[in-house]
């Protein structure tokens, strides 16, 4: 059994290098849904919309020749908030022979976590610290303690990158700072931040994303609380001028990795004298 904890003392994690930023265009990671386009939750911010662009397990396994080096294994949740990976386990074991797996499992128990730990390279876990988010956004009968237990289970067997969605409550920033405080106590190998964006045909379709400056304040607080922990700005965030503004603000507060950065952010990184590393797989890998 492996136990992962944030390093103590002066040790710097391997992918945290001062003066360096990683820009990620994850063309070599294929998103795969184990449930196809099906999700039982119809969450207020997603509504199953983002499953539509994911490959099925059959499609992923059917690929031949040059293709993905890794797979983001996700899918729709059941009414218990779990992605039912175990129902497709033989196929997932076969997929693990094709490339690295980044698991996105939802809630888990210890048995689930142990199984995932045997075939996954990393786990991406949506970290939620607010019962209102769980009830009003996900529509689940669960609690923040359920998410914390799942996080602890997963960390016993694998490297875990918690994901915090800034503004998930229809664009309002409410519990994100509390989530950071909990993660500071629990430890984290890295943290990935995504940002609410209005999605058509969802409950929050008419909501506005949080202002870029307010998002940057959350990122800055994370940098203070986690001075040696790699912090990522993930692929899910609004586009256009909003993304340009946020990406540049993120560089200013010390974000270590940005997925699909804007041209403005790329220019700013050079102007800041940062060493830029280019990556082609999912930011958690």
Q: Where are the domains of the chain?
A: 20-279
Specify the CATH superfamily of domain 20-279. Answer: Aldolase class I (3.20.20.70)
- The conformation of residue 50, written as its DSSP 8-state character, comes to G
Indicate whether 155 pLDDT > 90. yes
Report the distance separating Cα 195 and Cα 227, nearest Å.
Answer: 21
Q: Are 229 and 6 in contact (CB under 8 A)?
A: yes
**pLDDT per position as a tens digit, 75-107:** 999 999 999 999 999 999 999 999 999 999 999
Q: Are 161 and 124 in contact (CB under 8 A)?
A: yes
Q: Which pLDDT band, with edges at 50, 70 and 90, does 11 fall under?
A: very low
Kindly report the average pLDDT of the chain as a whole number: 92
Indicate whether 15 pLDDT > 90. no
Task: Give the count of alpha carbons within 13 A of 148, CB side only.
Answer: 16
E-strand stretches of the chain: 20-24, 29-33, 55-56, 70-74, 100-103, 122-126, 160-166, 191-195, 231-233, 257-259, 275-279
SS3 224: helix
What is the reported pLDDT for 7? 33
Contacts with 284 (C-beta within 8 Å, 6 or more apart), sequence order: 102, 122, 124, 161, 190, 192, 232
């Amino acid at each position: 059994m492996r136990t992962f904890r944030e390093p103590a003392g002066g040790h710097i994690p391997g992918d945290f290098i001062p003066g360096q930023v990683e820009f990620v265009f994850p063309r070599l990671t294929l998103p795969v849904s184990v449930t196809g386009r099906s999700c039982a939750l119809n969450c207020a911010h997603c509504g199953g919309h983002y499953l539509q662009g994911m490959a099925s397990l059959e499609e992923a396994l059917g690929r031949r020749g040059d293709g993905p080096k890794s797979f983001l294994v996700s899918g729709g949740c059941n009414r218990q908030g779990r992605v039912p990976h175990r129902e497709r386990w033989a196929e997932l074991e076969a997929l693990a022979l094709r490339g690295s797996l980044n698991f996105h499992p939802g809630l888990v128990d210890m048995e689930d976590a142990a199984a995932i730990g045997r075939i996954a390279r990393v786990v991406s876990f949506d970290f939620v610290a607010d019962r209102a988010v769980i009830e009003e956004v996900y529509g689940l009968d669960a609690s923040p303690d359920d998410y914390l237990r799942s996080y602890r289970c997963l960390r016993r067997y694998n490297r875990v990158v918690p994901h915090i969605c800034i503004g998930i409550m229809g664009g309002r920033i409410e519990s994100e700072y509390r989530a950071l405080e909990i993660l500071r106590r629990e430890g984290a190998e890295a943290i990935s931040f995504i940002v609410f964006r209005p999605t058509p045909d969802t409950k929050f379709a008419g909501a506005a994303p949080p202002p870029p400056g307010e998002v940057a304040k959350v990122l800055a607080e994370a940098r203070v609380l986690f001075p040696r922990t790699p912090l990522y700005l993930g692929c899910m965030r609004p586009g256009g001028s909003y993304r340009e503004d946020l990406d540049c603000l993120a560089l200013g507060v010390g974000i270590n990795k940005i997925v699909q950065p804007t041209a403005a952010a790329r220019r700013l990184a050079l102007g800041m004298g940062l060493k830029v590393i280019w990556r082609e797989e999912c930011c958690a890998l």
